[in-house]
């Protein structure tokens, strides 16, 4: 019987998420990846990470509820996001829908499943142009793009 905790990594088929998956696996955790593959790569999961991949989006409450009721998830690491600053300026609504509403849907499903451990991957873009270097977490927040604003909004939830 496998007693290692299982961690859900959203966006785990992408660059940052895949590195988190490797670190978790190297530390003995079981990992399930939820990724819509808009930035991620199924081949990476299959050939390198060898983790369970669920293709889907964090906005899909039915999928999340099914996942959380069918698997014993100990925690969620959330890397899934649209990330292109220029695209966010041209089409901000998809960034708010995916990054903010998707995260809110994920959090609601976690609460319903009594999953209380959550790590969110934000961005230094929430601080805008540096007023001093090095920047600290006390630096004034001034998101300059819809991408940055969407990440900042999630930090407020």
Instruction: Give tens-digit pLDDT for 130-157.
Output: 999 998 889 999 999 999 999 999 999 9
Instruction: Give tens-digit pLDDT for 16-25.
Output: 999 999 999 9
Q: Which domain holds residue 112?
A: 6-156
Distance separating alpha carbons of residues 136 and 125, to the nearest angstrom? 13
Is there a domain that residue 136 lies in? Answer: yes
**Which residues does the annotation mark as catalytic?**
147
**Which stretches of 9-131 are DSSP H helices?**
15-26, 42-44, 61-70, 85-90, 92-95, 102-112
CATH number at residue 55: 3.40.50.720
pTM recorded for the entire structure: 0.94
Is there a domain that residue 122 lies in? Answer: yes
The residues, ordered by sequence, that sit 6+ positions from 106 with a Cβ below 8 Å of its Cβ are 10, 58, 64, 76, 78
Instruction: Give tens-digit pLDDT for 23-52.
Output: 999 999 999 999 999 999 999 999 999 999
Distance separating alpha carbons of residues 115 and 53, to the nearest angstrom? 20
Is there a domain that residue 100 lies in? Answer: yes
Q: 1 vs 57, which has greater pLDDT?
A: 57
Categorize the per-residue pLDDT at 4 as very low, low, confident or very high, splitting at 50, 70 and 90. Answer: confident
Instruction: Give tens-digit pLDDT for 89-123.
Output: 999 999 999 999 999 999 999 999 999 999 999 99
Q: What is the pLDDT of residue 2?
A: 60
As a whole number, mean pLDDT of residues 56-70 equals 98
Distance separating alpha carbons of residues 75 and 60, to the nearest angstrom? 18
Is there a domain that residue 95 lies in? Answer: yes
Number of domains in the chain: 1
Compute the mean pLDDT over every residue in the chain, rounded to the nearest whole number: 95
Is there a domain that residue 97 lies in? Answer: yes
Is there a domain that residue 147 lies in? Answer: yes
Q: What is the pLDDT of residue 61?
A: 98
Is there a domain that residue 131 lies in? Answer: yes
Distance separating alpha carbons of residues 2 and 143, to the nearest angstrom? 44
Is there a domain that residue 130 lies in? Answer: yes
């Amino acid at each position: 019987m496998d007693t290692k905790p299982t961690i859900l990594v959203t966006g785990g088929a992408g660059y940052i998420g895949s590195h988190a998956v490797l670190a978790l696996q190297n530390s003995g955790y079981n990992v399930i990846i939820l990724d819509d593959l808009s930035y991620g790569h199924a081949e990476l999961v299959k050939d390198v990470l060898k983790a369970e991949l669920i293709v889907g989006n964090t906005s899909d409450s039915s999928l999340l509820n099914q996942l959380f009721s069918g698997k014993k998830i100990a925690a969620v690491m959330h890397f899934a996001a649209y990330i292109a600053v220029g695209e966010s300026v041209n089409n901000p609504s998809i960034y708010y829908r995916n990054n903010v509403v998707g995260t809110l849907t994920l959090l609601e499903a976690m609460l319903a499943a009594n999953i209380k451990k959550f790590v969110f991957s934000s961005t230094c873009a929430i601080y805008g142009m540096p007023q001093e270097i090095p920047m600290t977490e006390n630096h004034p927040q001034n998101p300059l793009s819809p991408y940055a604003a969407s990440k900042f909004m999630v930090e407020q939830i």
